[in-house]
Chains A and B, each alone.
Chain A
Amino acid sequence: MSAAGDANALPIGRRLRRNAGRWTLNVGAAAAFIFILLPLIFVTWLSFYQQEIPSFPPTGYSTRWYAEAAANSRFIKAFVLSVQVGFIATAIGLLLALPASIALTRFSFKGRAVINNLLLMPLVIPGIVLGIALYVFQVEAENATDLPIMGSFAGLVFGHTLLVIPWALRLICASLVGFDRTLEEAAQNLGATAITAFRKVTIPAILPGVVAGGMFGFVSSIGNLELSLFLVVPGQTTLPIAILQNLEWKIDPTIAAISVLQILIIVGAMLVTDRFVRISRVV
């Protein structure tokens, strides 16, 4: 018995009403979908305007703003800093989150939930609150140790590492939970040491989770604004801050072109991640 068959047997009035409902639903869904993408579409459109002052309609289209963006040393510097911080924070975050995920999924002990929550905390505390808290902490740490902590590269990396850990932890834990441990035991029965079994059997099996965790961590580091606001010093800003500061002053096609480059990096990272894990299952 098929549902479609039943629907055809319904009186015509009810069938029409059901179709109308379906249409409303689809139109509503399409509207929400477009609305989500609309700002990205507008920014991309603006980046191809010919004239510098963004008035509609454009006098023509051009790709020169991309060349302009590539030649803008302030944005290049900010971009390089963002990528450096993102890479280092992701590497450290993964190194910390991988063993932690193993402990959290394979051992049961008192306080496990507490530690789990502590590690996920940076995603829960609002960025602006954690940002100012880190700033205050750096003030105190610098006063106590006389080390140059304020506005340092290491301080920025430390803050971003806090952001990477929860993403990496969530995704690695998810893949560890789905991993069949008897495979590891089988390897050990065949003579492998615990470490070899882990390296040759477990790591390849959970690699998708590790890659996805790293990607999400990297992407959230690259796009972070609120935390970084408190951790940078003038002359050494990350890309999102450089974009914000420029927009507070004016909007032009150059900033749009830079934004499009950021969008492309994120789309690329997402498509790569999707080859390893279905995105729909991890977010």
Chain B
Amino acid sequence: MSADAPQRSAALTATTLLGPATFVAALGVIGPMLYLLRYSFNQYDPRELMIETFTLKNYQAFFTNSYFLDAYLTTLRVGLFATAVCLVFGFPLAYVLARSTSRYKNLMIIAVVVPLFVGNAVRAAGWMSFLGSRGLLSVTLMNLGITSGPTDFMYSEGTVILGIIAVNLPYMVLSLQSVLEGINRNLEEAAYSMGARPLTMFRRILLPLALPGVAAGAILTFILAMNAYATPVLLGGPSFRMMAPLVYGQFQLNNWPAAAAIAFILMLTTLLLTMVVSAITRQKFRVT
């Protein structure tokens, strides 16, 4: 019996166990993504729909067309702004949850988790009933005499940002909370006992230690904001344009090559900005 027989049988077992899942994931992710990349170099034709060729026209068209560029810039703006707001508003809640010793803590965390899985369309419906011209906000402002007639708060960039913040806040809170949970409370007390003010303690102790969670949360919320679909469609209305609805719009027009190119531009932009953020965070760690 050779010495590497057990090793070989272990390799066989691992392959058998891992094989089916790997096959499904490869078939469902790698294959489709490669085809999508190939399609993005094809050419759209109104009569034949798609002509197989190799052209960069779809990418070129995107960056020279103001209709597409507007959507691109709006998406970046909304993504960055929503992420910044999520960071500022998520931190206090994450901190309170992480430091809580209440027996309702788990229930509170479930309350933060549940909205994550309730579809974005459902949450948009909630905002629609609140922000519409006959909604609670408009009627309250009228009753208070602040506005004279009904105001429609729907269909603006601000509304979309509001909706996206509400969608992404739980992700930020959970990312921050998991990191804050691991920071020893005595470090905070030590800073206080040496005379630090709360804000100084936050800036010099808590924030540097929580930086991995801040980076993880910011990256996650940014990716989700950039790729939001239901929120811009429902809260932004037909004339508001962001990238994900644009992909679907081009797809519905049967312009698959353009839709494929836009999908790749969206994904690469997200990936690039994500990598920049991780690189900066990593550098910060090495310095301090």
Contacts and interface: CB of A to CB of B under 8 A. Distances in A.
A279 B89 contact: no
Given A28-B93, A38-B166, A251-B132, A126 B223 contact: yes
A70 interface: no
Interface stretch (A39-47, A59-67, A145-153): A39-47
A132 B247 contact: yes
Contacts of A279: 106, 109-110, 113
B14 A165 contact: no
Interface string A163-204: 001000100000000000000000000000000000000000
A31 interface: yes
A68 interface: no
B36 interface: yes
Interface in B21-37: 21-22, 24-26, 28-33, 35-36
B129 A119 contact: no
A126 B22 contact: no
A56 B129 CA distance: 9
B57 interface: no
Given A39-B166, A56-B136, A283-B174, A140 B22 contact: no
Interface of B is mostly: helix
A271 B266 CA distance: 36
A3 B118 CA distance: 41
B150 to A, nearest CB: 9
Interface residues of A, number: 92
Nearest to B224: A126
A211 interface: no
B270 A126 contact: yes
B127 A42 contact: yes
A33 B105 CA distance: 13
Interface string B80-112: 000000000110110111000000011011111
A113 B82 CA distance: 32
A103 B17 contact: yes
Interface size classification for chain B? 35 or more
B10 interface: yes
A237 interface: no
B36 to A, nearest CB: 4
Interface of A is mostly: helix
A128 B227 contact: yes
A43 B126 CA distance: 4
Contacts of A130: 29, 32-33
Contacts of A135: 251
B179 to A, nearest CB: 13
A224 B8 CA distance: 41
Contact of A40 (B28, B90, B118, B270): B118
A109 B14 contact: yes
Contacts of A128: 227, 229, 244, 247-248, 263, 266
Contact of B24 (A7, A165, A247, A266): A165
Given A133-B36, A226-B244, A251-B125, A263 B93 contact: no
Q: Which of B111, B117, B123 has the most CB of A within 10 A?
A: B117
20 contacts: A14-B197, A18-B192, A25-B95, A32-B169, A32-B173, A36-B166, A43-B125, A96-B24, A104-B18, A107-B10, A118-B29, A119-B25, A132-B259, A136-B39, A137-B36, A162-B24, A224-B119, A229-B248, A256-B129, A266-B118
Given A25-B96, A162-B29, A280-B105, 16 more contacts: A21-B199, A25-B92, A29-B92, A39-B163, A121-B25, A126-B226, A126-B266, A129-B264, A136-B39, A137-B32, A226-B244, A243-B125, A247-B125, A255-B125, A256-B129, A279-B113
Interface of B: 10-11, 13-14, 16-18, 20-22, 24-26, 28-33, 35-36, 39, 89-90, 92-93, 95-97, 105-106, 108-130, 132, 134-136, 138-139, 163, 165-166, 169-170, 173-174, 177, 189, 192-193, 197-199, 223, 226-227, 229-230, 233-234, 244, 247-248, 251, 256, 259-260, 263-264, 266-267, 270
Interface of A: 3, 6-7, 14, 17-18, 21, 25-26, 28-29, 31-33, 35-43, 45-46, 53-57, 96-97, 99-100, 102-104, 107, 109, 115, 118-119, 121-122, 125-130, 132-137, 140, 158-159, 161-162, 165, 169, 219-220, 222-226, 229-230, 240, 243-244, 247-248, 251, 255-256, 259, 262-263, 266-267, 270-271, 274, 278-280, 283
